[in-house]
Amino acid sequence: MNFHFFSDFESMSNQGFEWIKEAVVKKPDLLFCVASGGSPSGSYAKLAAYKQQYSDFGSALRVIKLDEWGGLEANSPFTSELDVQRKFVQPMGISPERYWTLDPYTQDPEGECAAMEQILEREGPLDICILGIGVNGHIALNEPGEEHQLPFHVCQLAASTLANGMLKTLQQPPSFGMTMGLRGILQSKLILLFVAGSGKKEAFEQLKEQQVRGQFPASYLWLHPNVQVLVDQTAI
């Protein structure tokens, strides 16, 4: 695990953009795991701006979504799908046949996860996996616990997750999550972990301890040979 410290969100985002751009130029049809949320959003914006200049950039990119909330009210503005569509999928011109996603309104979340796992097995492994870190150390929606499921799976959300950010403002918060499991994440050739936003200082301190434990899922990233951690120092 390699740590890279930046004075602000802008410079952190620029480095993330440069690494992603370089990888896509080398392998135009790489498999990219897109994460929602604010932490990688600056890099996404820079990729979209680059796409405006060079229209062929990303034209063969394959994209799979990392996770999704379940149990939200119909037409909720807070789905991960809406977030990644606005920030990445649409600006990058990712066509439906090159984008695989989890439906936030599915009536069969277990089946949805099983289908995504089959897609990952067929299309994978990932070339790049984008991650943020939760205040409790979750990555994707792999929450703290003694046991962790390896494939895509339906997950129970931790109280600390539901109490954080925009989720605590919802009249009808999510009742479960759907997420890529640790196997898919750890099989990625490159992992970019963005540490940004409020409340991340304690999680970052635990990450640095180099102790792999189920109660802090991000610690499993120490088992991977190519994790680049981009740290906005204003967040820690």
Whether 143 is catalytic:
yes
Whether 81 is catalytic:
no
CB 175 within 8 A of CB 104: no
User: From the candidates 112, 117, 127, 143, which is the catalytic residue?
Assistant: 143
Per the structure block, which two tokens stand in for 8?
A: 């602000």
Question: Which is nearest to 188 in space by CA: 231, 139, 230, 148?
Answer: 139
Q: Is 37 left (phi over 0), alpha (psi -120 to 50) or beta?
A: left
User: From the candidates 67, 112, 117, 232, which is the catalytic residue?
Assistant: 67
Task: State which amino acid sits at residue 64.
Answer: I
Integer Cα distance of 194 and 184 in angstroms: 18
User: From the candidates 68, 81, 127, 136, which is the catalytic residue?
Assistant: 136
Per the structure block, which two tokens stand in for 235?
A: 């967040």
CB 106 within 8 A of CB 70: yes
End-to-end CA distance of the chain: 18
User: From the candidates 83, 138, 142, 232, which is the catalytic residue?
Assistant: 138
Which residues contact residue 66 at a Cβ distance below 8 angstroms, ignoring those fewer than 6 apart?
33, 34, 35, 36, 80, 129, 130, 131, 140, 179, 180
Per the structure block, which two tokens stand in for 42?
A: 């600056």
Whether 226 is catalytic:
no
CB 186 within 8 A of CB 8: no
Whether 146 is catalytic:
no
Q: List, by residue number, the catalytic residues.
A: 67, 136, 138, 143
